Each structure stands twice: as C-alpha cells, then as structure tokens.
Amino acid sequence: MKDGPDIARIGALIGDPARANILSALLSGKALTASELAAEAGITGQTASSHLKKLMEGGLLAQAKQGRHRYFTLADADVGATLEALMGLAARKGHLRTRTGPKDPAMRAARVCYDHLAGHMAVRMFDSLQSRGFLEVTTEPGGLGLTASGEAFVTGFGIDLSDLRSKRRPLCRACLDWSERRDHLAGALGAALLVQFQKHDWVKRETGSRVVHISPKGERDLKALFPIHS
C-alpha cells in the first residue's frame, strides 16, 4: 500500500481552500506578495504566512525577496500544468458545486495558464499549428517538437528560437485545457508566443485575474495567423 510517491502530501496542500485560492491566483503567472495573496484568499496576513510556509516546504512555490516584500510564484511550469489538470477534473466532476462566476465566460475564451495562453483561442492556435504540420511528436522532454516549417513560422513571427532553446525548459509541451478539454501549447514557446501577442497589443491581461482580453484587432489578426482547416 506504500507504493509510489506520497500523493497525499501534495493533495493535502492543495486541499485547503485558502491555499487553493493562493495557488489559483498564482496560476496567473504573476509574482504576488504575501499580502496580496492574503487578500486574494480572504485571510489575514498571519494565516497567509503560515500557508505560504507550508507551500514552500512542499516545493510548490518559489519566492523572491525584494525589499520588504516577498514575491511568490509557482515553483515551475509542472506545478501549473498539474493544477490545470486538477481544474479539469474539478470542472467535470464538480457537478453543481461550481456555480459559474461572472468572469467565467471570459475565462473560457482566453486566460493565462501560468505563463502561456489557455482557453478557446489557445486551443484554436494549437489546432492550427498541428494541422499545418508545424508540430511533431518527438522524444525530447515535453514530447513535442517543432518541424522545420514550424521553426520558420515562429521565427518569422519574431521569436528567437536559439534563445528559447538555451533554457533548460522544454520548448514545447501540451497542457490540458480545463475549459475546452483539449490540449493547448505550453512550454518555453507557449510563453514566448504570449509575450509576442502582448507586444502586438493583441491581448491585454486583466489586472488581478487570469482573464485575458482580446482586442478586436487581435481577434482578427490571431484568426488570420492561426487559420483552422475548414
């Protein structure tokens, strides 16, 4: 019965509502201070401090001290992907529990998943990339790679591939989208694409939330850049 890794420890960490709120807030990818997270979770500073300590010990969070603030982020992209997977389960099994909030439609349209785009538009992007033969199954970490034509495409979009490859992080990774029940693109490339979209003013992040707003121009240009096989 003591087979495999200790899954209960991590489950218990995620299982507390306050900590779950903290992790959800951090899924926005932004570094947040301890007090911001306390407000986000609806608890006092002291309580948050205790929770953050536990999350650190559990290896789910990374911190950066800066002056009298302490900024927290998710430890790495794997944590984000696992949380997104859990959200998929929760959304599906959650029956009536999760009454959809006001921001729900916007979240499903486009949101940030740690550091890359998720939601309807992200899935469209992934589909377009694969149907045009830009992605392939490989043995490199992440299990996904760019084809030659794919490399040309993203380079033409202003992305420096050699820079991305120099990092330890996998270039491409599939991440299960909880609202669409389909994969979208994560990894270093997924993050770089989101940065490019913001540079073009195609998308704009809502402050203090994971929601991403797509401008009319962005909507048009993104659909042109990532056409769907009719």
Partner DNA sequence: ACAACGCTTCGATCTGTGTCGAAGCATTCG
Partner DNA sequence: CGAATGCTTCGACACAGATCGAAGCGTTGT
Give, for 82, the enclosing helix (H) or strand (E).
helix 77-93
Q: Comparing C-alpha atoms, which of 33, 57, 56, 34 is closest to residue 46?
A: 34
Give the one entry of DNA, a second copy, none that residue 181 binds, where binding means its C-beta sits below a cut-off of 5 to 8 angstroms depending on kind.
a second copy
Structure tokens at 82: 């696992």
CA distances from 97 to 22, 46, 181 (A): 20, 29, 19
CB 171 to a second copy: min, Å: 14
- Dist. CA 5–CA 7, nearest whole Å: 6
Partner whose binding site includes residue 58, from DNA, a second copy, none (CB under 5 to 8 Å by kind) = a second copy
* Contact characters 23-42, DNA, x per CB under 7 A: ----------xxx-------
Query: H or E stretch including 63?
Result: strand 61-66
Binding site for DNA (CB under 7 A): 12, 16-18, 33-35, 43-54, 67-70
Q: Which residues bind a second copy (CB under 8 A)?
A: 1-17, 19-21, 23-25, 27, 40-42, 58-60, 75, 78-79, 81-83, 85-95, 97-98, 101, 103, 107, 127, 130-131, 135-139, 141, 143-144, 174, 178, 181-183, 209-210
